[in-house]
Amino acid sequence: MNIIWLGHGSFRIEIEDQVLLIDPWLTGNPVLAEAHHAKAVEGATHILITHAHFDHIADLVQLSQSTGAPGVGIYDLMGHFETAHGLSVVGFNIGGTVQLGKVAVSMVPALHSTSLGGAPDAPLGREVGYILKGEGHTLYISGDTSIMADMDWIGDYYKPDIGVLSAGGYFTMDMAAAAYAAKRYFDFTTVIPCHYKTFPLLEQSAQALIQGLPGVDVIEPEIMKPIKI
């Protein structure tokens, strides 16, 4: 498995027979150089969306049309993009699981907000995270979220060994809060922070997360550098 950070909350995950783009934000992403855009999305099989904020969904239509990769996300939001833009989509809902090739993808709650600029009446569903199962690992993608009580059952039921946690503060958990959540609700062997460094108002270091999780392999991702699991 290769987990490749595209900056902010965006990832390219190469797992089993899939290349999954998670909230791919290319246009206007201040930390992902345009020279990396083509390689970042090459061979994409599906595009997973956690919620409708611009920094997570801005490139969905263009990327789905250019790569042929269906959008994957909560039923209401995917229905909007299918109707409004003719996209191929996989729409499901919280608690559900879909099979993408050899990868099982389950939708779990997040605690944030969601809105779609320019389409105030579009059905959006709500913000979510994902559980990915493949290659003998279970990966939790928190999406934009605060600490929430739902993490208790998510950790107990799915037992993820890898956590990709939004931890930049201001809009989501900060590093200290992410460390608290990881320690209280999960038993991760590997944690990868995201949604940080993008702007000055976000945290610029994962040091508080590292210090708060002794014995856990906390990996500060680098743009376009694969983390091999």
Domain spanning 2-221 has what CATH number? Answer: 3.60.15.10
pLDDT for the residue numbered 42 = 98
SS3 assignment, position 4: strand
Which residue reads 């997570």 in tokens? Answer: 56
Each residue's pLDDT tens digit, 146-204: 999 999 999 999 999 999 999 999 999 999 999 999 999 999 999 999 999 999 999 99
User: Any idea where the domains of the chain sit in the sequence?
Assistant: 2-221
What integer pLDDT is reported at residue 144 of this predicted model? Answer: 98
- Phi-psi label, residue 31: left if phi above 0, alpha if psi -120 to 50, beta otherwise: alpha
Does the model's pTM come out above 0.75?
yes
Q: What is the pLDDT of residues 73-95, one digit of tens each?
A: 999 999 999 999 999 999 999 99
